[in-house]
Structure formats: structure tokens, C-alpha cells
Structure 1
Amino acid sequence: MRVTTAALGLMIVACSRPSPPLASPPAPPTIVEPPVESAELRAPDVIEELAARGVYHDDFARAELYTWTTAEQVTALRRDRRLLVAEGGAGMGPSPYLRGLTAVAERGGAGRELAALLLEHPALRRRRYAWTSPFATTMGLGPVRYGDALIRVELAPRALLLRFRPGDAEPFVAVDLRGAAVPIAELLADPGRLGAVYHVRDGPRDELPFREYVLCNEAMVLAWSVATPEIQAQVDADIDLLTRLAAGPLAALPESALRSSSAPAWVSARAGALPLDHWQASLAFDNLRYRPSSGNIAAIVATLRGYDGRGEPLTQGGMNTDPADQGAQASQTSR
């Protein structure tokens, strides 16, 4: 069959028409991932609990303290009903606290009179060392732990507290239990109101920074106790807190965080503080045992589980003679 030129032209035009556009493939469905919450956001209650354990140089007024001791000392407490008995360094020479007082008393200037009073006053010569949470001192400062038994101490409402930093130009600051400043002259005039000394060693010459509460006046102790349900509950609360911290806010910290010193966090609470800051602010010792690695926290928890709460619960009123405090004391000892 012969194809004419006109017919061939029509065929070319028909073949050269553009094909209809292909339909666009359907867009893939948008998948909205749930926001990834940090461990801190998943457990704000843990952060709040940890923050409540913080102690700072400008916020150290605390009425409830804990001191680790041995089963033998608990036996003596039950027998003699005396909380404060030691006058020196427990057979190891003068304690850092006593050495600091001696240095301030000998150098003269600010604090000399109060340092001499703390060294020589008969009502302030017997001492026991304590902290605000059991977990923060259970591993000890040096190679020897203090014991597996706990004493809970509650200060009388009238008690005053001292901050003592031996290296400061003004080594002493006094407050009441509300944290309100008290003139040193007022304490010198009535030393019987002193309940405890917040002793800090974090200066440039202190090789291992640490801090402690020095109980120094049984007359300002409202009550002390051993083997009570309240103490067991506090130990259990510490174990629970540390377990949750290790699984959340303090999990997998970078090596730089594990190497950092805790002492800077002791100065003052800071806005926007991280969980690590709160952990460091709760500590009494800046030693390697308390760097928040998973292994260290597990060791602290294991040590807390070894708390020795044997024996009948005992709550003993202090030697306080103030009528207002005696009413609170009667309520405390009737539990």
C-alpha cells in the first residue's frame, strides 16, 4: 500500500504528541516521632529529692543529722545514754577540726576568741561528727569506714550553728536553724546555744576537700536515736534515690564529669544546676569513692544495705534544759 506524503505527515504529528502526564506517586505518610525525653525530664521527682539533699556554704542550717558508728559504740550509748564523749581525734591525734581551731586561735585576729572558746569551754569539748544524709558518709573519708550502725540526731529549736572555714579572713559565721544570721558577739555571750559547727576544708592548701557537722554541745540536742523505724526508712530512701539516679540522671556520665571536683558545687546553689551539680552539693567528701560512676553508686548502695539496725529502738532526749525545747523533746521521746 502506498502512503501519500500527506498521510505520512499526519502519522508523524500523531506520534509526536506528548504523552499524558503520569500521576505523581502518593507522598509517604508523615510519621511523627514522640519527643525523646531526657532521663532528667522522665524523673523530675528524683532531681527534686537530690536537690533537697544539697548543703551550701551560704545555706547550712540543718536540724536533722546522721552519724555512722560501730556496734560497740551503740552498746555504750545504750548503757551510758551519752551521745558526746570524745574530746580528741579518737586515738589518731588531733582531728582536722581541732587543728583548724588551734591555728585560728594562735594566729590572732578575727575568730581568735571564738576558736579558743570552742577548744576550751567545758560544755563544748566533747564532739561527734555527722552529716545530713547517711549515704554521703557511709564510705568514709579515708581508708577506714566509721561503722555500720547509725545514730540520728535532732537539734533543739534554739540551737545556733557555726560555719567554720579556717582559711577565711573571717573564719566564723553564725546562724540560727532558720538560716538567719546571728552576730558572733551574741554567740560569745551565750555559748550554750551552739549546737553544731559546719566545718569546711576546701581551701587551696586542703589536699582532699571535705566538710562535716561537728556536734559539740549535748545541751542543744533535742533527741538522738538508734535502731528506730525512722532511721531504717531514711536508709531505704537513700538506697531508692541512688538506685534511680544510677538508672537515670546519673547514668553514663562523660569521663570529664567523673573527674570533676565536687567542691565548687558546695559554695552556693545555682539556677539551672545539672543533676551532677546536685549530686556534688549533697556530698560531704570530695574523694574518688563518691565520683558518680555506676560502679561507685552500686558500691554505696551495697554498703547502705549493710546498715546494722539490730536491737530495740531507742530514742533518748538530750541534755537540753530550755522549757520551750523540753515540750518538743517530750513529743519526740514519746514516739
Structure 2
Amino acid sequence: MGIFDWFRRSPVETRSAMSGFTAELMAARESYISGRRGIAELTAAAQSCISLWEGAFALAEVDGTNLLDKRTLALTARSVALRGEAVFLIRDKLIPCSDWDLSTRDGIPKAYRLSISEAGGGTTQTALAGEVLHLRIGVDPAAPWLGTAPLRRASLTAGLLNALESALAEVYENAPLGSQIVPYPEGPETDMTTLGRSFRGQRGRVLLRESVNVSAAGGPAPAVDWKPSSVSPDIERSMSVESVAAARDAIAGAFGVLPGLFNPATTGPMVREAQRHLAQWTLQPIAGLLAQEASEKLGAAVDIDVMGPTQAFDAGGSARALATIVQAYAQAKEAGLAPTVVDAALARLDWK
């Protein structure tokens, strides 16, 4: 061992893992072509939830930086909701990236190759991890550098909703809705043609004109009621409407939205509770992840508040709690309790 060996970096051991490089490359290419977002993002249920994410982030208040403006926050929310990730190149402003690949060390991104969309054609840039703002949600321990969208995590339910809405769309497009088979007594051909033409231009069509000119035991034809027979598909018995509603509620739950928010019979308290649930348990944690990433990459303490601007709290309950605290302080003062005792009591209730 020579003296110069002290200045040499120890070699990094590289091993092939899982199914090999070729299989991973093919899987990555397939993911790029088919997308990682799922197939239900074109439904109104998914887009309604994504719009809630986008609107809440656009209302959020940011302290510590001017780079995260309203437009950037809204774009971040939509990208995270659809792709599970949002990547921005840090320059004098945040530049959104349409596609990227990266290299890692110890599972942590070290360098990026970024594709930036332009009106006349995209460009590609290489940047270090410190120059890239990368927000990820739904991270898998097997690939901590990748995020996962809610629709991807609930791919079975997303596929069910896609199949149901596609089937219903095909039924309403191709099925003979409103068409009927009308029986009537036999008559001259001219009368049949005139009667058949009289149905044209109406809602639905007469597919067949069934004649009842038959004999019964050698006698005249019995009197037949002109009751039409509908050929419209019986959608109610297939339970497709209930299945679509259940799948829609499940997709809303995957986005952190209470299904009761989209119920036609919902009430004001339910709407406010759904807003609080979405902001507190879904959007504010994502905002915290974005604030942490921005604090590490921008060199300043960044804080993002979603709860306050969206009024996602019980204003009446907060007012009653404040009145109770003030009354408790007044009673403690009358009783001669020391401030430390009062503070200790409030601390046990997590009020201080």
C-alpha cells in the first residue's frame, strides 16, 4: 500500500438486482409509453378531486420564498395528483419539467436529466439534485426516488370505474333507446307505410311493425291490444348505476375526498367537514413535504399553510373553545392558582 492510496476513493460495489438491467429498461420504457397514472383520470370523479387539490394549493400561503407562486402551486398539485411527482428546475424561477430520469446513490437522487417543454420543441438539460425541486407522494420503499399517483395505487378501482363508464357510454351511444315493436292489425300496404312513416322524427324509432293478421281455430283473429314492446336495454337490473356510484366514491376516497361531498343530498355541515378532512389529512401533509423539499433546495426556511386560507377548521368550535379558555383563566385567577399550574393543566389538554 503506497502513500497515494490514501487519496484514492474506495470503489463502489455494483450488483445486478431483481430481474436484470434489460427487464428494468423494458419496464421503464413500457411505463413511459403507457403512463403511470392509471386509466380513470378522464372521468369526472377523478377530475373533480384533482380540481379540489389544485384549488386548495392555489389558495395556500407560502412564507420564506417567492418562487412558489400561485401558478406554480396549482401546477404542482395537478402534477402530483396525476403522476405522483412534480419536478421543477431551479433557476431565477421554477421551470416545470415534463419528463426526467435520474441517477441515485444510496437511494437518494444525485443528478437529473430533465426534459423541458417549449412551444417550438422541447429541450433537455442536466442538473444536480440540488438544482431540482422534486416532490414525491406515495413513495414505495423499493423505489424511494419515485412517486405514485392515487389512481395508480388504486388501479383496480380505477379500472372498474373506467370499464363501467365506458360500457354505459357505449350503451347510450349504440343501444336502440326508445325504440319499440308495435303490433297492429293487417291492412293495405299503403296504410302500413303511412303508419310507419308517422313515427319518424319522434323520440326513438319503430324497429318492426308486427302484423297480427292470424286465424285462431279457423275463426277470426282475436282482438289484440296495441301495447308496444320496448327494446331499450334494462340498465336498472344490471346494477350498473349503483356500481358506478360505488366506484366513484372509492376513487374520491383515494384522493382523500369524503364521498359525501358529491352526494346530491349533502348538507352544509357535511361540505365543511369534507373540506376539513381533505385539507387536514391529505393536502396539508403534502404541503409539508413540499415545504421541506423547498427548504433543503432553496436555502431558506419555507412554510406552506393550506388550512388557514381554505378556512378548513371549525370556526364555531374554535370560538367556543376560546371562550372556554378565557373563562378558565378567569376562574383560575379568582381561585388564586399560580400561572404555572394553569399552564400545566392546559398543556395536558394540548391547548398550549
TM category, shorter: under 0.3
TM-score, normalization by structure 1 = 0.22
TM-score, normalization by structure 2 = 0.21
RCO higher in structure (CA 8 A, sep ≥6):
1
From the two aligned structures, give the one with the greater helix fraction: 2
